[in-house]
Amino acid sequence: MGADRPQGDRVPVLTAAALQRAEAEVLAARLRVVAEPTRLMLLSMIHAAPGGEASVGDLAAPIGLTQPTVSYHLRALTEAGLVARDRRGTWVFYSLVPGALQQVRDLLG
């Protein structure tokens, strides 16, 4: 570890910009959820949808999956705090939670 560093030099402790444990756990959980290709596609489709929202029916056909399968993935995205549900009668519309992916973007630069 310090072959290039003169002896006695200390590595600066980066605490101000570093993630705290609780933040790291939330971010890791979100990254696990979006590490699945179908979920990344769903996030992209919702983001691109008119008005920034889509129903399961809007998403199932273009992605080539059944509605129950899409619902399963949307539930995981909702539980991770990435997608919000809005029930209107018998319809449920999904939209991205504002700022939920910002921490991921910030971390990745």
Which pLDDT tens digit goes with each residue over 19-29? 788 888 888 88
Determine the Cα–Cα distance for residues 70 and 59; give it in Å rounded to an integer.
7
Contact 30, 82 (CB under 8 A): yes
Please state the φ and ψ torsions of residue 94, each to the nearest 5 degrees. -115, 140
Give the per-residue pLDDT at 68: 97
Mean pLDDT calculated for residue range 35-52: 95
Contact 63, 36 (CB under 8 A): no
What's the predicted TM-score (pTM) here?
Answer: 0.77
In CATH, the number for domain 21-108 is 1.10.10.10
Kindly state the percentage of the chain with pLDDT values over 90: 61
Model pLDDT for residues 60-78, shown as the tens digit of each residue: 999 999 999 999 999 999 9
Residue 99 has pLDDT above 60, yes or no: yes
Give the per-residue pLDDT at 73: 98
